[in-house]
Structure 1
Amino acid sequence: MGRAPAWRRAARLFTAPAATLDRAPLRWDLGFYLACLAFALPTALKSEFYGYRVWGNFATVAYALGALHSGWLLWSARKGRTPRGLLGSRWCGIAAVALLAMILPLLLLVIRRLTGVDWLITPFSWAAQPEVWVIERSADLLLHHGTPYVDVTALGRAPVVNDYTPYGPVMAVFGLPRALFGGTPLGDALTDARWMFALAAVACVLGTLKLLKWPKVPVGAAQLALACPLTALTWAVAGPDLAIVGLLVLACALAATGRAAWAGLVLALVVSAKLIVAPAAAVLAVFVLVRRAGHETGLDWPAVARFASALVATTAALHLPVYLVDPAAFVEHVFRFPLGMGVVRSPAASPLPGHLIAELGPVGQVAAFALVGAAAVAMVIWLVRRPPANGSGAVLRIAVGLGALILLTPATRYGYLVYPLVLLGAYLTFRAAEASTARPPRSSS
């Protein structure tokens, strides 16, 4: 018999066979959904953003169902019972979150957005977060002016935060469908940039699983990468970070399977969309170099040369045309504004450690940047002394590095923590794939 179609192999990843239930994972599941519920309920009741409240209402139901289902499975395990069929699977909670906390709120908010509240300084009316409008505008600017960045000093008025596009030029690609085919209610609904972010993220997940030969995805990995509130909320109200972290995971999978040049090209797309993930380049470069270490070939200098060449050439090709149109605007939007040095100060100020330390005054600002530097040095030492030997090792180091950067940078948002969370879920999946590959084949006798 031939191999099953790809979609059927993918579907089998999320099918748990009936077996005696283990209480330890079920306790984790129950605690996970209760913690998520503790995030979703206050969001529904207290958030200043309309989209957040809509998401919170849906998510509260989703996480409550997940907690109830996990509690029921735990009770059944204690009674020595093994529920059969779909309801006996730990994936039921994941499915509830995907449907109720991701797909349905996104659909509702896309339709609600047609009433036209973009660009208003009224957060309680926003059916999409400002990054969605800004990226769609950047695509229109790119089509008509050759750059997604406006000169904030030539607006004829005082610039405001939403005049900025704090992304690389690749991010504008996600807004191109709206710029090309929007303008009618149906066209606007179908080309909302959030659909493009979601499609890109899903495509990257499927591409990664295919490269890893369709491993069995651990439930914990799906909880961290898919069902956690930051992922579900970002999916419904914004979305760019999910597309970027999806591309980053795909680059890791390409590197892990020996496709160094392709890994460099995809990572160039990532860096050319959002600079926050640039540190991943150092980790993947070291990984590509040492991936074959221990075999007869030793360090793979040709592979790292292909990786670096693809990364540098693609990054230059994507940035230079936009930079040459208006160098000052490029620097203002991409570098000065995110660093808090622009004409308008970045509003990114979540109460994470780096921001809290920087708020203590000049000494606190110096201390915060010193901590970022210390974290960078620690990452370099980790890479040199214990370079990643496999894909999971590379993903783990990127997750830790980005997590430290997000926590310690003075101007940051808590939503960026979706990067290390998704990467930790990817780490568990890479580990499962590596364990499956290392396991000796079963005898046919």
Structure 2
Amino acid sequence: MVTDSSGSSVLSTTMRIQAQREAEPARIGVFDRIRAALSRRPLAVDALLYLGCACYALVMATTDKHFGYRVWGAFAVAGYGLALVHTCWLLLTPNARPSRRRSRWVGVGAIGVVGMLAPMVTLLVRREASGGDWTDVERLWNAQPEVWVIERSADTLLHTGSPYLDIAALDRAPHVHDYTPYGPVMALFGLPRALLGGSPVTDVLTDARVVFALVAVGCVVAALRLLRVPSVPIRGAQLAAVFPLTALTWATAGPDLAIVGLIVLAVALAATDRPVSAALVCAFVTSAKLIAAPAAVVAGFVVTSRLGGRALARFAVVFVGVTALVTVPVYLVNPGAFVEHVLLFPAGLGEVASPAASPLPGRLIASTGPVGTVIALLLLIAAGLAVLLWLIRRPPRTAADAALRIAVGLAAFTLLTTATRFGYLVYVSVLLGAVLVFRNRTSAPLGAEGPGSGHHGDPISSTSS
């Protein structure tokens, strides 16, 4: 038998290259490396996290000018303190017999009850008992202004067909609280109070914060079921649910939690090949708050990468159609009011200056003068183009991929825009927590046992979505 030496050489080379590839360690993503580092000393990381959160809450409780923030801070110090004490107990008794009391979820639960539910209920009841709405005195606020503004917008919508006051028709100088800087859908969160309020009990139960919380929780539960996440990694819950940005917003305001919950649901729908439903949710959430628009873009990329151009066309048609359906009628009722509230005021071009001026990089750069404003805008545009290039070169296919890209985009927007709020970083923390949760997705049926149950010895799953 004659052997072709050139063919044998090629085959040998191919086998050698394949063997080298198999010998090389698999590429590990950035988040996999971070999770691996955190998993080596999970209890020590928990202790440092809870200590830092407790210190932040203590500062809020003792120094902040807003009454609601101080109330939250007082409760949150106790909540994070209990979690810290429990974690230290776990650290000091490593050889004790495993039990439910030794689950790391005990600390998370303490924060949820003491640091989130308790201050929320306190502020809800106190708001009904003592008032404090529609005043410039922050020490009287039992709810942040966005709560009463959204509730008023629902009442205005019922009576005039538009959630926006006509600033030009006021018989006085306009005030910042006259503005509703949201899309028309945001008024729907205030409808329960507008329709059912009127008594002390119904006013408490229909407070917009309750509606925001219910929507946020419902969206997260739906997303977890869609993605068949068998267990929630505790690190994801710490970052998304009980981190101070989330806990503070939960008790004192809430609209951003409802918005980010809807974003999470839209991502889950897109990643489970439901383009029409994803488009409906994206249209709804974008028509509530424009900050959610990047999520619609990312969801479109997910749909395209998974299902192709025809699915993207369906997604785009539904998104544009539903957005127009809920926005155009409100715009036509009073075009001037719509433009003043939704476009000019958030951009700092309205009759009254927007109070969104947290000392973040974009704001600080712009405060140096006209040149600084231009530089800040150029940095924001550059960041947006970088994220867009990332989407094009590496289109997201999973919920975790999509959540990560939205988080990065909103982080860049929050840090670099010239008029922003520190609280918008809650979108980033929740979405990064969602990345960790979604990467725990498996093909196991709902309720199946899996890693990450929360005991201090549990490994963190490396299963990717």
> TM-score, normalized by length of structure 2?
0.86
Once residues 379 and 63 of structure 2 are traced to their aligned partners in structure 1, the CA distance between those partners, rounded to angstroms, is: 33
Is the counterpart of residue 195 in structure 1 residue 203 in structure 2? no
Equivalent residue, structure 2, for 1:110: 124
Amino acid at match of 2:127: R
Q: Within the alignment, does 1:158 sit opposite 2:173 as a pair?
A: yes
Indicate if the aligned counterparts of 1:23 and 1:74 stay in contact, CA closer than 8 A.
no
Q: Deviation at 1:82?
A: 3.7
Q: Aligned equivalents of 1:204 and 1:280: distance in 2? A: 15
2:58 to 18, 38, 41: 41
The within-5 A match list for 1:323-338 is: 323-338=331-346
Give the total of aligned pairs: 409
Counterpart contact for 2:154–2:187, Cα < 8 Å: yes
1:92 matches 2:106: yes
- Give 1:148's match in structure 2, choosing from 155, 163, 182: 163
TM superposition shift of 1:130: 0.4
Equivalent position of 1:295 in the other structure? none
Post-superposition CA distance 1:98-145 (Å, at most 9, x none): 101111111110100012211011100110000000000000000000
- Residue by residue, what CA displacement relative to the aligned partner does 1:172-207 show, whole Å, maximum 9, x if unpaired? 011001111112211211111111001101110110
2:293 matched residue in structure 1: 278
Is 1:65 equivalent to 2:107 in the alignment?
no
In structure 2, what is the Cα distance between the partners aligned to 1:389 and 1:212? 13
Aligned counterparts of 2:98 and 2:273: Cα–Cα separation in 1: 41
How far apart are 1:214 and its partner, in Å? 3.5
Residue 16 of structure 1: aligned partner: none
Deviation at 1:391, TM superposition (A): 1.6
| Structure 2 CA distance for aligned equivalents of residues 435 and 360 of structure 1 | 53
Structure 2 residue 319 is matched with structure 1 residue 311: yes
- Residue 126 to residue 308, structure 1, CA distance change in 2 (3 Å): same
Give 1:118-267 correspondences, 5 Å limit: 118-267=133-282
Q: TM-score, normalised by structure 1?
A: 0.90
C-alpha distance in 1 between matches for 2:444 and 2:240: 21
- Provide closer, same or farther for how the CA distance between residues 35 and 341 of structure 1 changes in structure 2, counting only shifts above 3 A: same
Q: Secondary structure at the match of 2:354?
A: coil
Partner of 1:24: 41
**Alpha-carbon distance in structure 1 between the residues aligned to 2:78 and 2:98:** 24
Which whole-Å deviations, capped at 9, do the CAs of 1:5-40 have from their partners, x for residues lacking one?
Answer: xxxxxxxxxxxxxxxxx7611111111111111210
Distance verdict in 2 for CA 1:48–1:317, change over 3 Å: same
**2: distance between equivalents of 1:316 and 1:288?**
21
| Structure-2 separation of matches of 1:118 and 1:283 | 38
Matches within 5 A, 1:385-400: 385-400=393-408
AA of the residue aligned to 1:226: A
Q: Which has the larger radius of gyration?
A: 2
Corresponding residue number in structure 2 for 1:384:
392
Structure 2 unaligned segments of length 5 or more: list them.
Answer: 1-38, 451-465
* Separation (CA, whole Å) in 1 of partners of 2:264 and 2:229: 15
- Matched position secondary structure for 2:323: helix
Q: Does 1:339 align with 2:354?
A: no
CA apart distance, 1:221? 0.3
In the alignment, is the contact (CA less than 8 A) between 2:271 and 2:397 conserved in 1?
A: no
Which of 299, 303, 309 is the matching residue for 1:288? 303
RMSD over equivalenced CA pairs, Å: 1.6
Once residues 250 and 224 of structure 1 are traced to their aligned partners in structure 2, the CA distance between those partners, rounded to angstroms, is 18
* Cα deviation code 1:283-312 (max 9, x no counterpart): 1111110125xxxxxxx1121112111111
Alignment gaps of 5+ in structure 1? 1-21, 293-299
Deviations 1:303-339 (Å, cap 9, x if unpaired)?
A: 1112111111111111011000001110110111111
For residue 363 of structure 1, give the secondary structure of its aligned residue in structure 2: helix
Q: Deviations over 1:189-243 (max 9, x none)?
A: 1111111001101110110111011421110100010010010000000000000
Q: Residues of 2 paired with 1:368 and 1:55: CA distance?
A: 33
Q: Distance in 2 between matches of 1:374 and 1:215?
A: 39
List aligned pairs for 1:384-423, cutoff 5 A. 384-423=392-431
SS of alignment partner, residue 258 of structure 1: coil
Q: Which amino acid aligns with 1:250?
A: L
| Structure 1 residue ranges, 4+ long, deviating more than 4 angstroms after superposition | 434-437
| Shift in alpha-carbon separation, 1:23–1:389, aligned structure 2, 3 A | closer
User: Within 2, Cα distance between the matches of 1:257 and 1:307?
Assistant: 14
Partner AA of 1:237 in structure 2: T
Answer yes or no: is 1:425 the counterpart of 2:433.
yes
* Amino acid in the other structure paired with 2:228: K
Q: Distance in 2 between matches of 1:131 and 1:276?
A: 15
